Amino acid sequence: MTNMDKLYDSVAANGPVCVGLDTEIGYLPATDPAKTAGENVVEFNRAVIAATRGVAGCYKVQIAYYESLGLDGLRAYAETLRMARATGLPVIADIKRGDIAKTAEMYAKAHFTGDFEADIVTLAPYMGLDSISPYLPYCKEQGKGVFVLCRTSNPGSRDFEYQTLADGRTVYTMVGDALTQLGADYMGERGYSSVGLVIGGTTGEEAAEIRARYQNTFFLIPGYGAQGGKAADIALYMKQGNGGVVNSSRGILLAYKKQPGVAFDEAAYNECVRMREDIQSECDKL
């Protein structure tokens, strides 16, 4: 089985919530002065993982939050990946690498093996398909996966991604088409390619068209909650309640601020359950 197969099975069993462990030290309700910033982050993440492992489809770890703490942070990053992968749930390393040739080979080795090993990584495609190809041997030989930026959730996505080409397609559609063609050689048992797409969920405008166009492509869907994405929009990107995972970072990590008197890990669990039910309710209406 590929890691996209495992992601599909996890969504079927636990729901589509992707817990974003994009943990800034300022998110912690309290810190231990005897521990480093990285050690405090690890303890916070440990509690969140333990609380949510039964209601999360997967975990996503954004490397920038850890890099900002230097070597201490990178140790925390490695330990967070290890803890998350120990749950048996798929783990996405949100690294958004986009380089080529030997450099890309080294990035692939760094994040698919060793201390920073993850199951799936995020990539940026705008240097061309040769920025993706160095990761594909790991998909073929080890079942690893990639989520490649396509139609993102940030307001600036319209600067480039929505530009119209001579053939009438948008840039994001050109990217999605090329990656879908590339991913056809890496299909898993559940009918999805190991080459997935990042499709922002902050709008439902093109949702039906995008889902219909990329039937065999798994989506990583950011934008729910803090960025304004609604469950009704998100549901349109799913395929019978599967085929995608929906990331929430601040909404889960900071849920305790909206649940007075509730411990941060319990609040994270409560938010995962609420989010899962919210999305499932909208999926059931389709």
| Residues known to be catalytic | 96
Spatial separation of the C-alpha atoms in residues 65 and 220, rounded to whole Å = 19
- Residues with Cβ within 8 Å of residue 149, at least 6 apart in sequence: 96, 122, 123, 124, 125, 126, 175, 197, 198
Single-letter amino acid code for the residue at 268? A
Q: What is the C-alpha to C-alpha distance for residues 193 and 5, in angstroms, rounded to an integer?
A: 9
Residue 125 makes CB contacts below 8 A (sequence gap 6+) with 98, 131, 132, 148, 149, 150, 175, 178, 179
Q: Which of 246, 270, 255, 199 is nearest to 57 (CA)?
A: 246
Distance between alpha carbon 50 and the CA centroid of its chain, in Å?
19
Q: Are 122 and 95 in contact (CB under 8 A)?
A: yes
Residue among 276, 278, 197, 186 nearest 243 (CA): 197
φ/ψ of residue 204, rounded to 5: -105, 10
